[in-house]
Structure 1
Amino acid sequence: MCVRNCSWMYPYHFILTISTRGLHLGGNAHLKGIPMAESEKSQIIATVTDYLEGIRDGDSARIANAFYSSVNLNSVDRDGNLVLTPRSVLETLATSGTLPPNSSEITHIEINNDMALVKVTIDMPTLNYHDLLTLLRLNVGWKIVGKTYTTVMK
């Protein structure tokens, strides 16, 4: 067990927060001196962008490309019950033409070796979706393997 200076155990840990004010590195990445490869960050951002732009543009292929094939979307209903929605429902909704215009923002990325947590806000006219996306670096690239979300009325 490592008790002191355990940075060698987790060489790819850092936190990246993206906001309208630019980029901010948090965590201890700068202390370890082992920066995450730019390609890893850009691949994660590209995967999440496929999801977000797929919703915005009604492109089910981009949504499917971003997610692992058997992902459920997790939320809670008004009675506090867990709701597991298949990814295919999101694809159908996005291509139905019923979604209002929206904009989205990646607000936080945390990467630990072969996994990442990404926080996303999707702004719609009457509500905001707040997503927590879990990604894994698989043999086919970075894929969203979990999505938990909530909605906040404006």
Structure 2
Amino acid sequence: MTDSAITDILAVVQTYLDGLYEGDTAKLRQAFHPASSLFAAADGKLMHVPREEWCKMVEGRASPKANGQGREYDRILSVDRTGPDTAMVKLNCAILPRVFTDYLSLIRLDGRWVVISKTFTAETLPAETVPA
């Protein structure tokens, strides 16, 4: 894997993390392909949220930044480039009191990396452990 590919993949991930933290859907739309979706299991059922539906949800809530939350939970755990045009990134982030583990599938189209899908799980922290 070339250093430039890693740099480009990490730049997309940082745009995602910044957009999520700031509640900036322009950044989220930049990082995620228009056809992308988010997936999770909720009560044993598939939760499927297309990008635009997710962006509307983000626009409808206070951002972690606006709530005074820090970014201590933002961590890139692994980057796996599986071919010249595909990669998988595992990371943590938070919208307190929930801490997320995300798996971002990225593809390179026309020389640009974008997230094509996000699969995630969340853990709700006990109230006494959430920073004030």
TM-score by length of 2: 0.81
Please state whether the residue corresponding to 1:98 is helix, strand or coil: coil
**Is 100-109 or 81-90 further displaced after alignment?**
100-109
Report the counterpart of residue 52 of structure 1 in structure 2: 17
Q: Distance in 1 between matches of 2:54 and 2:105?
A: 17
- Structure (1 or 2) with the larger CA radius of gyration: 1
Give 2:79's aligned residue.
Answer: 109
> In the alignment, what sits opposite 2:110?
139
Match of 1:152 in 2: 123
Matched positions, count:
118
CA positional deviation for 1:96: 3.0
Question: Any residues of structure 2 matched to 1:84-103 within 5 Å, and which?
Answer: 84-100=48-64, 101=69, 103=71
Once superposed, what is the RMSD of the aligned Cα atoms? 1.5
Q: Distance in 1 between matches of 2:21 and 2:111?
A: 24
Q: Deviations over 1:64-84 (max 9, x none)?
A: 011111111001112x01110
8 Å CA contact retained: 1:58, 1:95: yes
Task: Report the Cα offset of residue 90 of structure 1.
Answer: 2.5
Amino acid at match of 1:115: T
What is residue 130 of structure 2 aligned with on the other side? none
- Percent identity, please: 28
**1:73 aligned to 38, 43, 56, which one?**
38
AA of the residue aligned to 1:45: L
- Kept in 1: contact 2:38–2:119 (CA 8 A): yes
Gaps of 5+ in 1: 1-35
Q: CA deviation at 1:125?
A: 2.7
Unaligned runs of 5+ in 2: 126-132
1:31-84 CA-to-partner distances (Å, cap 9, x unmatched) read: xxxxx2111001000111111101111211110011111111001112x01110
Aligned equivalents of 2:13 and 2:51: distance in 1?
Answer: 14
Matching of residue 62 in structure 1 with residue 27 in structure 2: yes
Range 49-58 or range 120-129, more displaced: 120-129
Distance in 2 (alpha carbons) for counterparts of 1:90 and 1:110: 25
TM-score (norm 1): 0.71
